[in-house]
């Protein structure tokens, strides 16, 4: 048998293969070693971070092995908590909650921090009436109340990180919850909550006992109250428009932090702070005013399609002063609806939180609109109540409307004579004098038509404030509108129109049509009352004709996203006004009789009124000054 010869090529091939395999193995080991080293380094870094967190986070500090003796446990906690280590060794030093509840509100108070961790309104639903989710003003850490404590040994401790001991008792029908942050058995900081039956207002006292030797009482205690407001309504933009911070000074005057991306205000002697959403408010009240407080409002809605959970981020910082080395503040919490009649009952000036308007507009709302609408809505559906409310307001205003139309009719009768004066007299001053003389002889006051119209303006503006603030309309339907406090969408658009929006609301369309016909019918009478254009002055007749078309367009654009209750009011209001105008013109205004009366007035000697005398003297004075200037030239 022939012996096989040595094959050099095969040897080289095997050697190369072996070399490649060996290189791959060595490279793999090197990579594994590198990965292990990086992993060890990462674990070391995480360990260091956890170690630092353990020093700063009191919750981790409290997590001590239960087998360790209380003495050793206390010694370990004292390294970070000082005297308040005592509170961390109690059985209550754990993540737990105490529930306070009555017929209208449910609260959960946390052991850690001692503040309200959840506030649920039991009679109100989010978004729409078919929702199963109740309105939560506080939930999932969207709120925080913290006192910053400075100890004698220069430690800074935050109550939000410390554990309070809860004790729940009853005082008659009231539930009383005492939350104590203890330095020892007899020394503590206490939050006391008292909830009464069927009430949104809680008593809230902050007081201390025996902490003179624990805390540095030479400086006041800093506190901070934060709240990220949840969206609760169908339209987040409409809701966000009415979300703001309102606060009250000791003298009873209120103020607010303006709208915008980031707004800040500082005030002194503050007696309450309200985080107002559209229809709900979270309010902190104090009987001892905060000496100085800073309020910050941050808008969280940049894109309505993406930013759909929260509307605003509110923050208040202030201080609590020591009295004889102790804290003693009588305060209140309110978590509930922004209902004018409810807030007014507390007699704490909380009704000012509801934006009913300033001056005469607020008076109309407070003394006419609120009680009248409240009465009607108590025994009939809300949509019918709005219609009847509008009818009653318009009937009450009808004498003023009648005087306005009567004045317009008189001016229309005098229009030919006024035109004759305008053509005959070229000098503007003399023309004005002759026109005023004609008014005086005819017994016509040119202001008689304007004054009634001006009187109606405050009522119109008051309605713009009243309906968006009426919580009675929330989630109450009428005809095709599911919610009279929001827009009545009938068509969803596949795109968004600037200002108008991405939907079509029907009530604003009806209101726009009604206001168009009203202005069309009254434009002739208004033109009759207007003076011919003077040199350099705008032609009011042309402006009025333009307004016939501009007003309905403005109604369509801006009311499309407003509450449908306001659009319904405007629609019914304009319909009734048209009806009253037709009735007055047909049955109460006779142009022939008015003309005869004016001719009779001309034949009678007239006594100048104070107004007419003043106007004549002013025109004569102006004419004399003009003549003197001409002579000097």
Determine how β-strand 187-195 pairs with β-strand 116-125: unpaired
Say yes or no to pLDDT of 406 above 50. Answer: yes
pLDDT in tens, 118-133: 999 999 998 887 888 8
Say yes or no to pLDDT of 50 above 60. Answer: no
Say yes or no to pLDDT of 7 above 60. Answer: no
pLDDT of residue 336: 94
How many Å apart are CA 265 and CA 602, to the nearest integer?
A: 63
CATH architecture type of domain 81-355: Distorted Sandwich (2.70)
Contacts for 11 with CB less than 8 Å, ≥ 6 apart: none
Q: Pick the residue with more confidence: 534 or 442?
A: 442
Q: Apex CA 190: angle with CA 186 and CA 195, to 5°?
A: 130
Closest C-alpha to 316, from 350, 265, 279, 255: 265
**What mean pLDDT comes out for the span 409-425?**
71
**What mean pLDDT comes out for the span 540-544?**
62
Indicate the range of 92-106, 273-287, 581-595, 599-613 predicted with least confidence. Answer: 599-613
How many Å apart are CA 557 and CA 482, to the nearest integer?
A: 21
pLDDT of residue 500: 82
pTM: 0.76
pLDDT of residue 145: 93
Burial annotation 372-409 (CB, 10 A radius, 16+ → b, else e): bbeebbeeeebbebbbbbbeebbeebeebbbbbbbbbb
Which range is most confident: 100-104, 216-220, 521-525?
Answer: 100-104
Beta bridge partners of 135: 121
Mean pLDDT of the chain: 79
pLDDT of residue 241: 86
pLDDT of residue 56: 46
pLDDT of residue 493: 87
pLDDT of residue 54: 46
How many Å apart are CA 118 and CA 136, to the nearest integer?
A: 7
**What mean pLDDT comes out for the span 563-577?**
90
Confidence of residue 554 (pLDDT cuts 50, 70, 90): confident
**What mean pLDDT comes out for the span 567-595?**
79
Confidence of residue 329 (pLDDT cuts 50, 70, 90): very high
pLDDT of residue 400: 77
Q: Pick the residue with more confidence: 186 or 536?
A: 186
For the chain, which residues make up each domain, given as ranges? 81-355, 366-619
Give the 3-state secondary structure percentages of the chain, helix then strand then coil, rounded to 5: 45, 25, 25
pLDDT of residue 535: 53
Confidence of residue 5 (pLDDT cuts 50, 70, 90): very low
- DSSP-assigned letters across all residues of 300-311: --S-TTT--SEE
Burial annotation 132-158 (CB, 10 A radius, 16+ → b, else e): eeebbbbeeebbbbbbebbbeeeeebe
Other Cβ atoms within 10 Å of 85 Cβ, number:
21
Could you tell me how many helices (H) and strands (E) the chain has, helices first?
Answer: 16, 19
pLDDT of residue 618: 66
* C-alpha count within 13 angstroms, C-beta hemisphere, residue 372: 18
Q: Apex CA 612: angle with CA 607 and CA 615, to 5°?
A: 150
**What mean pLDDT comes out for the span 566-570?**
91
| Torsion angles phi and psi, residue 606, rounded to 5 | -110, 140
Residue 623, both tokens? 């004419």
pLDDT in tens, 306-319: 767 888 999 999 99
Say yes or no to pLDDT of 59 above 50. Answer: no
Q: Pick the residue with more confidence: 121 or 3?
A: 121
Confidence of residue 83 (pLDDT cuts 50, 70, 90): confident
pLDDT in tens, 355-387: 888 888 889 999 999 999 999 988 899 999 999
Q: Pick the residue with more confidence: 189 or 306?
A: 189
How many Å apart are CA 198 and CA 434, to the nearest integer?
A: 71
Other Cβ atoms within 10 Å of 190 Cβ, number:
19
Confidence of residue 105 (pLDDT cuts 50, 70, 90): very high
Determine contact, residues 144/160, Cβ cutoff 8 Å.
yes
Indicate the range of 424-428, 474-478, 598-602 predicted with least confidence. Answer: 598-602
């Amino acid at each position: 048998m022939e012996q096989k010869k040595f094959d050099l090529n095969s040897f080289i091939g095997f050697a190369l293969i072996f070399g490649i395999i060996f290189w791959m193995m060595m490279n793999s080991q090197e990579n594994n070693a590198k990965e292990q080293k990086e992993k060890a380094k990462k674990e070391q870094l995480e360990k260091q971070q956890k170690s630092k967190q353990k020093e700063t986070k009191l919750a981790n500090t409290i997590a001590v092995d239960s087998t360790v003796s209380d003495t050793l446990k206390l010694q370990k906690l004292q390294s970070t908590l000082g005297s308040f280590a005592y509170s961390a060794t109690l059985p209550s030093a754990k993540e737990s909650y105490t529930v306070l509840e009555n017929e209208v509100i449910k609260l959960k108070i946390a052991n850690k921090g001692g503040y309200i961790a959840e506030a649920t309104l039991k009679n109100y639903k989010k978004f729409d009436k078919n929702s199963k989710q109740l309105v939560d003003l506080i939930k999932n850490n969207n709120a925080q109340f913290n006192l910053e404590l400075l100890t004698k040994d220069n430690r800074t401790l935050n109550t939000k990180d410390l554990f309070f001991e809860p004790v729940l008792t009853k005082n008659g029908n009231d539930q009383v919850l005492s939350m104590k942050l203890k330095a020892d058995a007899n020394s503590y900081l206490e939050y006391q909550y008292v909830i009464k039956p069927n009430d949104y207002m809680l008593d809230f006292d902050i007081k201390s006992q025996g902490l003179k030797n624990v805390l540095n009482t030479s400086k006041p205690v800093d506190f901070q109250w934060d709240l990220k407001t949840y969206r609760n309504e169908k339209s987040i933009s409409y809701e966000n428009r009415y979300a703001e911070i309102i606060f009250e000074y000791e003298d009873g005057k209120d103020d607010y932090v303006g709208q915008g991306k980031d707004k800040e205000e500082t005030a002194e002697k503050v007696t309450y702070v309200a985080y107002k959403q559209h229809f709900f408010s979270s309010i902190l009240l104090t009987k001892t005013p905060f000496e100085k407080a800073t309020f910050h409002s941050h808008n969280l809605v940049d894109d309505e399609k993406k930013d759909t959970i929260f509307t605003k981020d509110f923050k208040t910082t202030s201080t609590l002063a020591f009295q004889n080395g102790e804290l003693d503040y009588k305060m209140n919490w309110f978590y509930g609806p922004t209902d004018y009649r409810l807030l007014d009952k507390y007699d704490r000036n909380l009704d000012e939180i509801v934006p009913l308007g300033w001056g005469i507009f607020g008076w109309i709302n407070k003394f006419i609109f609120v009680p009248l609408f409240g009465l009607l809505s108590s025994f009939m559906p809300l949509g019918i109540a709005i219609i009847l409310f509008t009818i009653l307001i318009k009937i009450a205003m009808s004498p003023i409307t009648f005087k306005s139309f009567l004045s317009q009719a008189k001016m229309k009768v005098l229009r030919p004579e006024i035109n004759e004066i305008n053509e005959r007299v070229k000098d503007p001053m003399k023309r004005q004098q002759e026109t005023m003389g004609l008014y005086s002889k005819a017994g016509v006051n040119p202001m008689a038509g304007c004054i009634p119209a001006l009187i109606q303006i405050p009522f119109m503006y008051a309605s713009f404030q009243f309906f968006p603030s009426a919580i009675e309309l929330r989630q109450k339907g009428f005809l095709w509108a599911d919610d009279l406090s929001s827009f009545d969408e009938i068509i969803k658009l596949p795109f968004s129109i600037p200002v108008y929006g991405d939907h079509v609301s029907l009530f604003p369309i009806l209101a726009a049509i009604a206001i168009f016909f009203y202005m069309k019918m009254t434009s002739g009478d208004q033109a009759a009352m207007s003076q011919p254009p003077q040199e350099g002055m705008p032609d009011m007749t042309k402006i009025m004709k333009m307004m016939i078309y501009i007003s309905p367009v403005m109604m369509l654009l801006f009311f499309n996203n407003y509450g449908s209750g306001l659009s319904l009011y405007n629609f019914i209001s304009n319909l009734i006004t048209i009806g009253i105008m037709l009735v007055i013109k047909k049955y109460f205004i006779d142009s022939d009789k008015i003309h005869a009366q004016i001719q009779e007035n001309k034949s009678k000697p007239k006594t100048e009124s104070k107004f007419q005398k003043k106007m004549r003297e002013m025109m004569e004075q102006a004419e004399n000054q003009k003549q003197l200037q001409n002579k000097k030239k």
